[in-house]
Amino acid sequence: MPAKNLTAEVRHFLSCRLIKRVAEGLGMLGVFSKSQSWEGYERACDSWHDAYWNWIDKEAPGELVGRLKGLQIDYARVPATTWSELPCAESEKKSWLIETTRQEILQDRAVFCLAMRGPEAGDPETYKMFLDDVKVAGQIDDNTCFAEIAKQKQRKPTKDKGDRRLKPQLLMLWVPGCLWAFSTDGVVEFLNAQYPRSGNGRYNNKTISDAYRDLKLYRSPKPLWWGTSGKPPCLLPL
């Protein structure tokens, strides 16, 4: 398989896996399962996939991308479960594993740096969650994660540290949170529940609209639902 096609296939696999994991984390698996039959779902997924990986590519240092081209893996130490999860023919397993590892490193680094720019950076649980990623960064001699950690002591605390990350938040939630099918008010409520702004602040409708348009995310021309409410989330009609 040509390298460009392999990268595209791997990224599609990782996108599908991420959507499922985020939906599960949000308690949205039931709602998300229903959304797959809604008109516009495929367009929403395609636009989100492009926007998400564009963001990851922009976040990736050229030096790291170059280093990953020579990535080596000790296949003998790879768990059997990892091999079984790869959705490809047996003859393609090794090339798929290498490319999946490359793309996961770029993806995890982007998410880690995002966390370091938000209030999560002050939570010890965040560092526990990224332990494996930091370990991998050390193994491939990528110092960007360690540089982000070192910056934390130098950064002055700000009340709105987590308020300036609307676009990445939309990228994380657009499809697994079904935001593409919600009213703008419903999107605001969903974001406020997942990422509360400081001082009980709220995004206004124009800010939300400008952000998803700038990211070129597809949104249903007419909202299909107002949004969600409760735990686990239930759909609210318009």
Q: Please state whether the peptide bond connecting residue 232 to the residue before it is cis, i.e. omega within 30 degrees of 0.
A: yes
Provide the phi-psi class of 227: left if phi over 0, else alpha when psi is between -120 and 50, else beta: left
pLDDT single digits (tens) 39-84: 999 999 999 999 999 999 999 989 889 989 988 999 999 999 999 9
pTM to 2 decimal places: 0.84
pLDDT at residue 158 is higher than 50: no
pLDDT at residue 160 is higher than 60: no
Range with the poorest average pLDDT among 101-110, 191-200, 216-225: 191-200
